[in-house]
Amino acid sequence: MLQGTRSVGIPTFENQNGRMMESAGGCSFLDVRLRDGKRQSVFRSYTFPYMDRPNLTVLTHALVTRITLEGKRATGVECIYNGKTQRISAGLEVVLSLGAIHTPKVLMQSGIGDQAELQRHGIPLVQHLPGVGQNFQDHPAIGCVWEYQKPLPPRTGSDTFFWKSDPNLDTPDIQTCLAEVPLAAVEMLARYNVPAGSWSMFGGIVRPKSRGRIRLTGPNPTDAVQIETNMMSHPDDLKAAIACVQLCREIGNSAALRPFTKREVMPGNLKGAAVVDFVRNGAITYWHQTGSAKMGQDAMSVVDANLKVFGIDNLRIADGSIMPRATACNTMAPCVIIGERAGEILKADHKL
């Protein structure tokens, strides 16, 4: 992969941070959280070591359904646990960290959101915040797949490159990761009859201009949430995605990767409307959902610089939903930083 990217003019670096991030782009081995050959979760690092503390309770398989309120002051949460609705009171504050899909869902089901949206489902309004559920963003990804000459055993390492879809851009807007498995939209894997012994280049758009929204389908906690991603709705995203697919094909078919390649499975040498259809049909999530309860000062903002929800006392949000725009990289580390910052703010405010 490193040799293949160099062959098309993309420089390589010792890692994806530092010099590479300050340059016009490049390729490197992917930094991942590994221990003893296994990926590590944030929960494993931050929470698990303190599970024996008396002031920490972790309830698994608990669905938070709404925030309990007295007027415009958050007093706790309700959740469904073991089939029963439980009410948990907050001594000081409630901090939502449910992600860019469930955070706006719980806010809206608690009466915090756009008045018209809540009225549509008969939910009494507590605080009109029209930005709740709006500004939803994600990094779209399109899988390009090659069949192996000889399948390799799966490993935890990988490579990634950041590059510009247009040389006139100030910073890279596409990111691609190498995957040693067939990674693409399920429908496309079936349409192209992709063999199990395949590898992929998973090309992503990291500065998307398309915006979606999260909506309720009903007033009840178990009513499904409606996710309108609007992926590729902005023409610049479509243009960047086509350039990304073309670059992936150029690298994947390079001499450096030929020893691993029996044939290119998808997309092949598509032109015109065919490549547009491939990108539109093949776009799936990079699992980087953000932006649906954004921080800011305009009318569509939901939280302030201290993560406090506008108009509601004792309620903060600490997850990717507060990002005004998606970071031009994987979102795990930025979400960790949001959590670290939330901890610092809470400690300072409550002298903990």
Options 61, 139, 234, 288, the catalytic residue: 288
- Measured in whole angstroms, the distance separating CA 24 from the mean position of its chain's CA atoms is 23
CA distance 288 to 129: 24
Which residue is it, tokens 């010099």?
19
* Long-range CB contacts (within 8 A, 24+) of 238-241: 238/276, 238/279, 238/280, 239/165, 239/166, 240/165, 240/166, 240/173, 240/174, 240/205, 240/207, 241/140, 241/142, 241/203, 241/205, 241/279, 241/283
> How far are the Cα atoms of 105, 111, 113 from residue 120, in angstroms, in the given order?
14, 12, 12
- Name the packing angle between helices 273-282 and 235-252 (round to 10°): 100
**Whether 288 is catalytic:** yes
> Phi/psi class of residue 307: alpha, beta or left (left: φ > 0; alpha: ψ in -120 to 50)?
left
Specify the 3-state DSSP secondary structure of 139.
coil
Tell me the β-bridge partners of 127: 112
Beta strand pairing status for 315-317 and 94-96? parallel
Which residues participate in catalysis according to the annotation? Answer: 288
